[in-house]
Amino acid sequence: MEPEIRIQDYTYILPNEKIAKYPLPSRDDSKILIFKNNSIVESKFSNLAEFIPKDSFMVFNNTKVVPARLLFKKESGAHIEIFCVEPKTPSDYARAFETTECSIWKCVIGNSKRWKNDVIQFDHLGDLELIEYGLSAKRLSNDGETSVVEFTWKGGLSFAQIMELCGKVPIPPYLNRESEESDKERYQTLYAKFRGSVAAPTAGLHFTDSVMKTLDIKGIEREELSLHVGTGTFKPVKSEMIKDHSMHTEPFSVSLPFLKSLISNIGKKRVVSVGTTSARTLESLYYIGIKCLNGGAPEDIEQWEPYNVDCDVSANDSITALYDWMVKNSVHKLEGKTRIIIIPGYSFKIVDALVTNFHQPASTLLLLIAALIGDRWKDVYDYALNNNFRFLSYGDSSLLFRD
């Protein structure tokens, strides 16, 4: 049963000057707020290892942001911006990025009304190298919010290479500025590996080789999963009641070795999720495991599924059931999708602590924070606002421990 929650109870006033428009020169110079045992302290992110208990297991999202914004130009001179959201044909991310000559994507179109069904050309701005590839786009269908677009090009390059040459980094709209060359590096985690996101898992933007080294010296085990962050992460909650909000779908993947490591640590160590994306994936895995435990196969997780399943199965048993199913069926990497929404009233099954940035008012991400630490989210955000913390994607971070 969907919880009766009003979004206006989870908002706050965020002055524009509190939003970080650019990252700090050094990633780990950012501030971090630590909420633990009902108390708040602050430090530098470079000191993170001091606040992560030795008996912790950290999980990172290794997705890679792609330069998904492509600017095209009609013969009339009108500019059409095409924002690639997810691959359509082929639908697998890895294969879609490897395609040559043609790739079909689900996209969001800027200035959509000016584009009918004609083929349009990439706006190469006089760059002779880009002219050679002849990148063009044709809209195959339009459902109002998104369109299916076929891209064609020459030269034998993969679509990933075309994106790198022609695309712009899709920085968050609330920054109110155009992406710059520096965003290609800074709007990407140091450990990003697998292309697919159109928004960064921003908690990871603070990590440096130095911070990782201090975690290793302390003996803190860490593993990686992948969840490709979609445009829905910026989708505002417009309904009065959260039960009327439609959560976005995001694809994820986890490997057998990851699950094996997770099983060996659940119940013995604190599971520290780096980012809300890692948290949503971890919690989704629990409910996928329940399906396997009940004799079924892994399936995508729907928005309200956790609130309609009455189960007291341990996280270890659930993940073990998923692991056993994969071994039995020779599946080395689980690929699925999740629409899970984590809001107050949700019972966390795996995540014990969360590293995360400060989120927008009245957002599903703020609701996740409230689900983790209860009404104390207000004290955490008041402290951050009153103590010169920088907010949103390029802002400072927090380390929040569940009771």
Q: What is the pLDDT of residue 233?
A: 74
The model's confidence at residue 124, banded by pLDDT at 50, 70 and 90, is confident
Q: What is the band of 403 on the pLDDT scale with cuts at 50, 70, 90?
A: confident
Segment 168-193 shows an average pLDDT of 93
Mean pLDDT of 101-122: 92
Nearest Cα neighbor of 65 from 266, 205, 173 is 205
Number of H helices, E strands in the chain: 11, 17
pLDDT confidence band for 236 (50 / 70 / 90):
confident
pLDDT class of 127 with cuts at 50, 70, 90: confident
Secondary structure (DSSP) of 378-399: HHHHHHHHHTT--BSTTS-EEE
pLDDT at position 402 is 94
Mind listing the pLDDT tens digit for each residue in 11-27? 999 999 999 999 999 99
| Strands, E assignment, 153-312 | 194-197, 221-227, 250-255, 270-274
Q: In 10 A of CB 169, how many CB atoms?
A: 21
pLDDT digits (tens, 9 = 90+) for 306-353: 998 878 899 999 999 999 999 999 999 999 999 999 999 999 999 999
Q: According to the model, what pLDDT value does residue 77 have?
A: 87
What pLDDT shows up at residue 295?
93
Kindly report which listed range (129-138, 230-239, 315-324, 346-355) carries the lowest average pLDDT score.
Answer: 230-239
Q: Does residue 130 surpass a pLDDT of 90?
A: no
pLDDT at 182: 94
Q: Which residue has the tokens 């921003």?
A: 202
DSSP of 273-300: EESHHHHHHHHHHHHHHHHHHTT----P
For 28-79, write each residue's pLDDT tens digit: 999 999 999 999 999 999 999 999 999 999 999 999 999 999 999 998 889 9
The predicted structure's pLDDT at residue 144: 80
Tell me the DSSP string of 316-372. Answer: HHHHHHHHHHHHHTT-SEEEEEE-----TT---SS--EEEEEPPPTT-HHHHHHHHH
Tokens of 257: 């070795």
Flag whether pLDDT at 279 surpasses 90: yes
pLDDT, mean of residues 371-399: 98
